[in-house]
Amino acid sequence: MVCMIRVHKIKLNPNSAQSEYFVKACGVARHAYNWALGRWIGQYEAGLKPSESALRREYNAIKPVEFPWALEITKNAPQQAIKNVGTAFQNFFRRVKNGDKKPGYPKFKKKGVHDSFRADNGPQTAGADAVSVDGKRVKLPVIGWVRMRESVRFPGQIKSAVVSKMADGWHVALAIETEAQLERKANNGTVGVDLGIKALAVLSNGETVEGPKPHKILLKRLRRLNQSLSRKVKGSANWRKAKTKLSRLHKRIADIRNDAAHKLTTRLATEFDTVAIEDLNVSGMVQNHCLARSIMDGGFGELRRQIEYKAQMTGSNVVIVDCWFPSSRTCSSCGVIHIMPLSSRRMVCDCGNDMDRDLNAARNLAKYAASSAVSACGASSSGIAKAA
């Protein structure tokens, strides 16, 4: 069985001293990141070749003199932050090489925006790990044991822990190297999945999975809290309270969307041998401002990501069909391609086929995945489909 890294995010119940330590650790990590980013930019403009390893050595040399307050925090926090600067520039240069229009040059971090710090387990002896778990407790460097809301769901070796501040409190994301796999519940062959706006997904077997649409449902409350925040004096106590309420609502929307995605993708990965989905161009789809909110509310990108990694755990195949494949406009009975505007919600063909447009698309995806054009590894000679 192949090992893989899985992440379990759990809410923490820290006491006041631990919460204060987390705030300091996030501040040190943010300072180290901004310091390293500034040094990197300066060295690059001077014609030098910066590296995160050299910056870490330089930071450690000057830390006792220039940043003595950083000694109160685990050394993992600033070290990992400087490593993140190197990773950010690697990703930036990779996107530039690939010709992306928005490669995303690394930016300086702001206080209160994605505050977090990381601690890693290095090559230590057994029982001396910097991060360990005991039931509903997690041991972190310097601060010691911190209570968690729940236990870790799967066994394995803990590789790292990222403590972050979110709207409803502090959370820890544990990266665990584990052999735990999802259990296959059924072998229902091939299924085509058509992601949509009206329904979250329509399966080729005729099943329709309704989406929760949390953003649409909570939009009035979201607007009301946004309006309330705009009326407060920025930086005041009432402004912070209003901001916290708004942040909690945003997190609730994200949690509802993520829960629906996990339930759907787990079903697909555990009940079907092959799953066929379209390679949707979400960034292009949201250019339609009439549909942008509904498209983003579906979380199509996250659905695809979850299907791909869960299929690896169950041994299922995932076939990604090119976005230009006319799945909606092709009759699933006779194969004739029709000219259909987006407003036409039914496939009506001269052969007698009359069915919902999304169901027709899902059946075409399932047929394509099961056809001889797709090899056992998911590759296609025509380049329309590819394996995830």
Strand pairing class (190-195; 274-278): parallel
Active-site position among 115, 194, 273, 297: 194
Work out the end-to-end distance of the chain between its first and last CA atoms, rounded to an integer number of angstroms: 19
Active-site position among 278, 279, 350, 356: 278
The torsion region of residue 335 among left (phi > 0), alpha (psi -120 to 50) and beta comes to: left
Is 259 a known active-site residue? no
The span from the CA of 342 to the CA of 323, in Å, is 15
The span from the CA of 47 to the CA of 63, in Å, is 26
The span from the CA of 379 to the CA of 281, in Å, is 20
DSSP state of 337: B
Is 100 a known active-site residue? no
The span from the CA of 64 to the CA of 74, in Å, is 14
The span from the CA of 306 to the CA of 265, in Å, is 6
- Binning the chain into helix, strand and coil, the percentages to the nearest 5 are 40, 20, 35
Active-site position among 52, 115, 273, 358: 358
User: Can you read off the two tokens belonging to residue 59?
Assistant: 């930071």
The span from the CA of 298 to the CA of 258, in Å, is 10
Give the DSSP per-residue string, 100-163. -S---------TTSS-EEEEE--S--TT--SSEEETTEEEETTTEEEEESS--SS-SEEEEEEE
Is 72 a known active-site residue? no
CA distances from 128 to 73, 123, 148, 287 (A): 18, 10, 21, 52
Q: Which residues pair with 385 in a beta bridge?
A: 321
Hey, which residues are catalytic here?
194, 278, 358
